[in-house]
Amino acid sequence: MLDFSPTDSGSGKELLKSASTAITSVNGVYRSMWTAGWSTTANTHQCFGIAAYNLALDCMADDLIMQSQGNGWFWGDHCYNVKSNYTSSAFRSYDVWYANYKWIANVNYIIDAEPEMAGTEADVAYVAGQAYAIRALCYLNLATWFSRAPYNSLTGASRWNEPCVPVYTTGTSIDTGGQPRESLRTVYGRIDQDIDRAIELLEKARETTLAENNKSHINLYVALGIKSRACLAEGDWDGAFKAAKRVIDEGGYAVGTKSDLTGGMNSLDKQNVMWGAGIQVADQAGGYAGFFTHMDNKEGAYAKSAPKLISKQLYNRISATDIRRDWWDPSDKESPYVSKKFSFANVASFLGDYIYMRVEEMYFTAAEAALRLDDLKSARELMNTVMAERDPGYSANNRSGTLLGATTTTWTGSFLENILTHRRIELWGEYGRLFDVRRLGQGIDRRTDDGFSEECISMMNRRNVNITKADTYDWVLTIPKAELDANPNINEEDQNP
């Protein structure tokens, strides 16, 4: 799955000699993160990079419901019918593995070139810092998809010695040998080192001439956001709190207002958006192979045939005075609880920016981490701040407790559950909910009463899929056969159950 050239166009070695041209290689990586058609040999309309992976992880979880199969896109993810397709280059296993290792291979060339790269200290740091952050994000993606969670916060149990994925840290050539699966401890150690190095470099890059206020690039605060995600997976509450709090205190972002939230979630220009893909013209949009085609239930062709709904249980936990209730319509006659959260900015041209990270996530992360660190005061203040723009009737002042249920719909009434519930509401459809479910150590209990289709549940039952248990391998993809065939250090005995 390794790619042997550092860029998709031009001479890689020449581009990487200077920061001013190496940024082109970085831009090429970002472009591929939202471009369909290259990471699989088929099914490309559900394989368009980061936004697709976030949506797939939402479809595998508890809050986003596909009313029907529709055209089939994401239905396999939703009904857990993907693992057996590891022999094909047209399905999710190959897609996620190939895409992330291609990104890793490309940024490894940039990292290798850093010591000799010409340019100001700030410009070189800006280029290299993004490369390290991308590599950290890719290994976090791969760990999320191809291994169980390293830490179960419900039980306090760790799985650091379980197998994860191979690690590559230098540019590859035709002579590069395939590496074996490393342990979760090794992979998360690499994530930690890379994201810390990215933060260090992006601190030095504040005066760069290459940034141009571009939210399509990973800046210092996005790197801190990635760090906060890794720390949550590791159970490093102090690290998660400090990283998220720095974004809140220093990043210059503001919690989104009602106008920011109700415009279709399709613009990087909003004050709460930290990072995403700015898709400006029609030939960049990908046509039907894009996020809004699947998530705009009014204008999206695929969404209209397979409407996306919110679970009734989660919707019923939204206060009557919470402005986010407007994201869904419980009274729609054909599709009760259908989403209105996402819409094209320009449907005729298939336009709409993809949002990967918003500052609200940092508030919920910092609040959760503070509560787990017994800093009740900070947790309450953070929740009151972010919820002030959501629900005038909300107050965290009398909330406390960290008890969670064995499943995500076993309600306890604790403050931790309240934080996580509002995180679920806020980030519905855009974050990859299964990432949180896995790290929290809870199971998922899907029921038709909540809106899940009989067809989906029956399909899961026929395959003996049981996601009520937090240690399930149903949440873990199978390694693509192409990797098993090409890598002498990974074989069928190393395959995930």
pLDDT number for residue 1: 43
Nearest residue to 188 (alpha-carbon basis) of 155, 142, 225: 142
5 in a domain, yes or no? no
Rounded distance between C-alpha atoms, residue 484 and residue 491, angstroms: 5
Any domain includes 492 = no
- Residues 330/340, Cβ–Cβ less than 8 Å: no
Which residue is listed with tokens 């949440």?
475
Residue 8 has pLDDT above 70, yes or no: no
Instruction: Output phi, psi for 356, to 5 deg.
Output: -100, -30
Asked if residue 237 has pLDDT above 70, the reply is yes
pLDDT of residue 172: 82
Q: To 10 degrees, the CA torsion angle through 486, 26, 366, 402?
A: -20
> How does pLDDT run across 91-138, given as a tens digit for each residue?
999 999 999 999 999 999 999 999 999 999 999 999 999 999 999 999
Question: Is residue 491 included in any domain, yes or no?
Answer: no
**Is residue 84 included in any domain, yes or no?**
yes
Q: Are 145 and 137 in contact (CB under 8 A)?
A: no
In a domain, 9, yes or no: no
The answer to whether 482 touches 89, Cβ cutoff 8 Å, is yes
- Judge whether residue 3 has pLDDT over 60: no
Nearest-10 Cα torsion for 93, 99, 100, 103: 170
Most distant CA atoms of the chain, gap in Å: 63
Q: What is the mean pLDDT of the chain?
A: 95
CATH code for position 191: 1.25.40.390
Distance CA 474, CA 82 (A): 10
122: in domain: yes
Find the DSSP H helices in 286-354: 291-295, 301-305, 312-315
Mean pLDDT of 341-345: 97
Structural domain includes residue 494: no
- What gap in Å lies between CA 66 and CA 460, rounded to an integer? 14
Distance CA 30, CA 265 (A): 20
Structurally, the chain folds into a number of domains equal to: 1
pTM given for the model: 0.97
> Which two tokens mark 356?
């990967």
Q: Give the Cβ contact number of residue 462 at 10 Å.
A: 10
Is the distance from CB of 202 to CB of 126 less than 8 angstroms?
yes
Contact 53, 96 (CB under 8 A): yes
How confident is the model at residue 6, as a pLDDT? 46
Three-class DSSP category at 103: helix
* Residue 420 reports pLDDT greater than 90: yes
Range of the domain at 265: 22-486
Residue 495 lies in a domain: no
Q: What is the pLDDT of residue 285?
A: 64
Distance, in Å, from the CA atom of 374 to the CA atom of 12, rounded to the nearest integer, reads 50
More confident residue, 63 or 279: 63
Please spell the DSSP secondary structure of 402-434, one letter per residue.
Answer: ----SBTTS----HHHHHHHHHHHHTTTTS-HH
Looking up tokens 């026929």 gives: 462
Neighbours of 413 (CB within 10 A): 10
